[in-house]
């Protein structure tokens, strides 16, 4: 959270995350609204299949058309300049398994960063790790970790070099989160949503609180 709060509020911010399933966009929507207190803008392919997502801040990109893809990238540069928004990007461009390595990006994020810095003078990027783990219940828990913010005022002219910098930042954040989960280090996570317990889980918890005397054998 501090990685977002301690940013320079006069300049735009971009969040970028891996993409392993359909729920990633919903997770980022809630993080943007409930943690950042901003509106999300999210580039979505085949938005015509899910037009309702437009109301949540999604806008369309057609990667099969080079002209359409470039229009979406240019629009993203304009979008990020509105400081009531946080632009969220899945820079891998396709859905990958959750722990797929190495993390590799397409060039779209680097293009947006380069042109946003030229246009606004500075831009901050926050890598976001998302993991869906079965920990304490019969349903998975969604764990989100915000990595170290990267502020750019000058951009490497080589877009491939910039892409590698951002790939490493996201992979380090995701690997750190995976290591902490594997070691059971999850106490620092703040609960954003918590489902009401099922009736049988409520009974189970009550029974655990009852101090029954030991049963003697015959």
Model pLDDT, residue 162: 95
Query: Domain 2-209 belongs to what architecture?
Result: 3-Layer(aba) Sandwich (3.40)
Q: 29 pLDDT exceeds 80? A: yes
Residue 217: Cβ-neighbour burial (10 angstroms; 0-12, 13-18, 19+)? exposed
Model pLDDT, residue 187: 85
Q: 217 pLDDT exceeds 50? A: no
Mean pLDDT of 147-154: 93
Q: Specify the length of the chain in residues.
A: 218
Q: 174 pLDDT exceeds 80? A: yes
Least confident of 58-62, 79-83, 130-134, 208-212: 208-212
Mean pLDDT of 168-195: 88
pLDDT digits over 111-147, tens only?
A: 999 999 999 999 999 999 999 988 877 778 899 999 9
Model pLDDT, residue 218: 45
Q: Alpha helix locations (H) across 31-158?
A: 66-80, 108-120
pLDDT digits over 86-117, tens only?
A: 999 999 989 999 899 999 999 999 999 999 99
- Residue 57 per-residue DSSP state: T
């Amino acid at each position: 959270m501090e990685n977002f709060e301690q940013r320079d509020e006069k300049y735009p911010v971009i969040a970028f995350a891996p993409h392993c399933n359909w729920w990633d966009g919903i997770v980022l929507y809630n993080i943007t609204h409930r943690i950042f207190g901003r509106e999300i803008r999210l580039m979505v392919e085949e938005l015509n299949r899910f037009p309702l997502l437009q109301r949540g801040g999604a806008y369309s990109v057609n990667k099969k058309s080079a002209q359409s893809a470039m229009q979406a990238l240019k629009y993203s540069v304009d979008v990020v300049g509105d400081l009531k928004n946080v632009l969220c990007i899945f820079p891998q461009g396709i859905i990958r398994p959750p722990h797929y390595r190495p993390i590799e990006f397409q060039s779209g994020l680097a293009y947006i960063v380069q042109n946003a810095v030229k246009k606004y003078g500075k831009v901050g990027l926050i890598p976001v790790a998302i993991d869906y783990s079965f920990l304490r219940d019969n349903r998975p828990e969604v764990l989100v970790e915000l990595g170290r913010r990267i502020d750019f005022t000058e951009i490497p002219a080589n877009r491939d070099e910039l892409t590698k910098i951002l790939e490493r930042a996201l992979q380090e954040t995701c690997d750190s989160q995976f290591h902490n989960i594997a070691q059971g280090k999850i106490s620092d996570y703040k609960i954003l949503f918590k489902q009401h317990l099922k009736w049988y889980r409520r009974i189970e918890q009550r029974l655990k609180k009852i101090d029954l005397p030991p049963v003697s054998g015959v």
